[in-house]
Amino acid sequence: MDELICVGAIAGSYGVRGEIRLKSFCAVPEEIEDYAPLLSEDGQTRYALTLTRPVKNGFAARLAGVETKEEADALKGVQLYAPRDRLPSLPNDEYYHADLMGLEVYDTGGTLLGTVKSVQNHGAADLLELQGPALKGTVLLPFTLAAVPTVDLDQGRIIADPPEGLF
């Protein structure tokens, strides 16, 4: 099976007629519908998706076979995936979060800082959550050109120039 990329999540029901509340993780949120049918994380369940209207923090949508509020509520928290080959290729300076997770992060002097555990965004910009044996907890590194000048997916590493005092 092709590698799957998470493109959205079901946030619960919307109304009483079986619609779901959908969060899209796509750069252009409406494009999530273009990648349907979407898949479960294990690739075993297919979800035929139709957006019905925008709502606060996402969309109301219909899934084939979901007819009641209770069925829609039961899907809350399900993440939706699309095969990588259905997604657009990205420019050189953009990356899918799935490609960054697990990469080793080195400083400009070649010292290993940690490994990317996750990519987070709390509203302002993306942050790389780093973990490693030399770190007491996790560290959030701003994913900006100044702090992360080099991402080398072929070598599986990131070169970072972290802000003073972060490590």
What does the pLDDT average to over 55-63? 94
Per-residue confidence band for 78, with pLDDT thresholds at 50, 70 and 90: very high
pLDDT reading at 2 higher than 60 = no
What does the pLDDT average to over 12-38? 93
Q: Which two tokens stand for residue 51?
A: 């957006």
Q: How far apart are CA 72 and CA 14, in angstroms?
A: 8
Mapped onto helix, strand or coil, the DSSP state of residue 22 is strand
Q: Which CATH number fits domain 4-86: 2.60.40.10, 2.40.50.140, 3.30.460.10, 2.40.30.60?
A: 2.40.30.60
pLDDT in tens, 105-146: 999 999 999 999 999 887 778 899 999 888 888 999 999 999
Domain with CATH 2.40.30.60 in the chain: 4-86
Strands 157-160, 104-107: pairing is parallel
> What pLDDT, on a 0 to 100 scale, did the predictor assign at position 96?
87
CATH number, span 97-160? 2.30.30.240
Q: Which two tokens stand for residue 117?
A: 């555990």
pLDDT reading at 92 higher than 90 = no
List Cα–Cα distances, 123 to 43, 120, 126, in angstroms.
Answer: 30, 9, 8
Give residue for tokens 């990317």.
Answer: 116
pLDDT reading at 63 higher than 90 = yes
Domain with CATH 2.30.30.240 in the chain: 97-160
Over the Cα atoms of the chain, what is R_g? 19
pLDDT reading at 164 higher than 90 = no
Instruction: Please give the DSSP secondary-structure letter assigned to residue 100.
Output: H
Q: How far apart are CA 152 and CA 96, in angstroms?
A: 13
